[in-house]
């Protein structure tokens, strides 16, 4: 099957070059024009898709060639972009920066090449003039199949722009699509620190509309749309959105009945790959959101629990004071409900979380010990997790991919999975896998091994039948 989906990528020469601000401004400008737009984020980023959804009101997904092979990535893109007039992909880090800092694999370049997507390279012009040409030339020539089709000049002086544009297009034969001047009132950088979520910032819509107005004034949006519509169709297999021969439709018997999965979703627990939740739903889950911050009881008739990552450390007293819910969660897990917990959710299930002042704040208590802050980012980046023993999700020796990103550690990290960083010798044991519980700091991407998600749903269905049998006695 072929899908003709207009698309383009906004990439940059480095992190901190303004990708987020420019991408969001372009998205808002296209929205203001009435164009049905979907956004994608390259890499394992939770913040940007959440931001695009909450503030821009867009459907947004991740695309990641470490988590999913090339065909699966195309399938997910086609599945999510169906019916949209335009797809805008925001790159990650510097354009060629990939696995372990030594490869282009899983980089923005790798994704653009795989997806046959034209790239607009964002160039930070502050403190530069003619040297900009050397920078652009290097990016164009490093890889012959760069897919870089144009450049956009960020923080560029309006007086200097006409001469720069003329030089770049003459010397490098690449189109300049416009510029954005230095403006302190249109920056989104403070949001991107990861300490606040989109819901917690007040005047973002005003900022985004100011950026969009700037785009209309100094960026050739019409030419960008022409470029996006010049792409070749993508070959995809939407019914087979997973690697190998494993097919969702082969598990249709699971979908005849639904397992109600309670998923913690609020400001404290907000890090979820939507594709993960969509896959669970396709396999027979009914996703039931609930808020550990606001609700004193779990939703009724649950057959599974999921606690994702987020910012529980910012809401310790509120979470801890919800005593009735803490007790109910602990009892429900003790009674055998299948439970998955990642990063912030893993912290929440401990006996305590230590705050920045050293105080131990009581939590659920399912996991012995506590979680405490560290002074640096721990075990950061992509990992492949291989089971050291049979567990709820898989047999010993089976693997799934994920990543870690946290400034916290635990007195009880577990040793049921073995984590290996790609292209590096760094490795460690992690995660607790005891009976109906899987918990640890790693974030899992289910599409890297959908059998994990399938096994979880099967466990939830088994639990459901056991509960129903008990109720009939």
CATH number for the domain harbouring residue 427: 3.40.50.880
Among 235, 267, 294, which residue terminates a domain? 235
Q: Read off the pLDDT of each residue in 147-154 and give the average, rounded to a whole number.
A: 97
Number of domains in the chain: 2
Contact 77, 234 (CB under 8 A): yes
Do residues 177 and 311 share a domain? no
Q: How far apart are CA 125 and CA 440, in angstroms?
A: 43
Do residues 449 and 311 share a domain? yes
- Residues acting as catalytic residues: 343
Predicted structure pTM score:
0.93
Do residues 211 and 261 share a domain? no
- Please tell me what DSSP assigns to residue 443: E
210-247 pLDDT, tens digit each:
999 999 999 999 999 999 999 999 988 755 454 444 55
Contact 2, 83 (CB under 8 A): no
Contact 63, 89 (CB under 8 A): yes
User: Residue 150 pairs with which residues in a beta bridge?
Assistant: 120, 175
User: Residue 373 pairs with which residues in a beta bridge?
Assistant: 408
Report the pLDDT value the prediction gives residue 198, as an integer from 0 to 100. 53
Instruction: Provide the domain limits for residue 123.
Output: 2-235
Do residues 282 and 362 share a domain? yes
- Please tell me what DSSP assigns to residue 14: S
Residues 6+ positions from 390 with CB-CB distance below 8 Å: 396
Number of Cβ atoms within 10 Å of the Cβ of 465: 12
Do residues 468 and 377 share a domain? yes
Backbone angles phi, psi at 157, to 5 degrees: -70, 130
392-437 pLDDT, tens digit each:
999 999 999 999 988 899 999 999 999 999 999 999 999 999 999 9
125-136 pLDDT, tens digit each:
999 999 999 999
353-394 pLDDT, tens digit each:
999 899 999 999 999 999 999 988 777 899 999 999 999 999
For the domain that residue 6 is a member of, what is the CATH number? Answer: 3.40.50.300
Q: Which strand ranges, in their side-by-side order, compose the sheet holding 285-290?
A: 285-290, 259-264, 304-307, 339-342, 437-440, 432-434
In a domain, residue 48? The reply is: yes
Contact 155, 126 (CB under 8 A): yes
198-210 pLDDT, tens digit each:
555 557 888 889 9
């Amino acid at each position: 099957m072929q899908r003709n989906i207009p698309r383009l990528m906004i990439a940059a020469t480095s992190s901190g070059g303004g990708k987020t601000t420019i991408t969001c401004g372009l998205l808002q400008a296209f929205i203001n024009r009435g164009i049905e737009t979907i956004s994608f984020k390259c890499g394992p980023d939770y913040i940007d898709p959440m931001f695009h959804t909450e503030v821009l009101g867009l459907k947004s997904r991740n695309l990641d060639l470490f988590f999913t092979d090339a065909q699966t990535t195309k399938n997910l893109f086609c599945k999510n972009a169906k019916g949209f007039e335009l797809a805008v992909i925001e790159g990650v880090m510097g354009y060629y920066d990939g696995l372990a800092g030594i490869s282009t694999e899983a980089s923005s370049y790798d994704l653009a090449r795989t997806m046959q997507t034209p790239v607009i390279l964002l160039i930070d012009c502050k403190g530069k003039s003619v040297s900009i040409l050397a920078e652009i030339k290097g990016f164009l020539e490093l890889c012959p199949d760069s897919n870089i089709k144009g450049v956009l000049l960020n923080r560029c002086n309006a007086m200097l722009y006409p001469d720069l544009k003329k030089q770049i297009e003459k010397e490098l034969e690449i189109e300049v699509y416009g510029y954005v001047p230095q403006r302190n009132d249109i920056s989104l950088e403070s949001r991107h620190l990861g300490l606040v979520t989109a819901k917690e910032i007040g005047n973002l819509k005003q900022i985004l509309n100011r950026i969009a107005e700037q785009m209309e004034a100094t960026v050739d949006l019409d030419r960008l749309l022409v470029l996006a519509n010049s792409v070749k169709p993508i070959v995809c297999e939407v019914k087979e959105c997973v690697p190998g021969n494993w097919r969702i439709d082969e598990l249709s018997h699971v979908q005849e009945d639904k397992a109600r999965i309670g998923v913690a979703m609020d400001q404290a627990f907000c890090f979820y790959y939507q594709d993960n939740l969509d896959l669970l739903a396709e396999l027979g889950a009914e996703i039931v959101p609930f808020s550990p911050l606001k609700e004193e009881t779990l939703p009724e008739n649950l057959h599974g629990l999921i606690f994702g990552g987020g910012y529980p450390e910012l809401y310790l007293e509120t979470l801890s004071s919800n005593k009735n819910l803490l007790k109910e969660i602990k009892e429900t897990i003790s009674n055998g409900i299948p439970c998955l917990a990642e990063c912030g959710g893993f912290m929440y299930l401990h006996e305590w979380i230590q705050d920045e002042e050293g105080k131990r704040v009581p939590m659920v208590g399912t996991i012995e010990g506590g979680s405490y802050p560290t002074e640096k980012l721990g075990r950061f980046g992509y990992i492949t997790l291989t089971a050291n023993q049979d567990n709820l999700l898989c047999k010993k020796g089976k693997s799934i991919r994920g990543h870690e990103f946290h400034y916290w550690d635990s007195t009880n990290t577990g040793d049921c999975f073995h984590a290996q960083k790609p292209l590096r010798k760094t490795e460690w044991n992690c995660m607790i896998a005891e009976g109906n519980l899987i918990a640890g700091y790693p974030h899992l991407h289910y599409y890297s091994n959908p059998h994990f998600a399938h096994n979880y749903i099967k466990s939830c269905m088994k639990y459901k039948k056991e509960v129903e049998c008990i109720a009939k006695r």
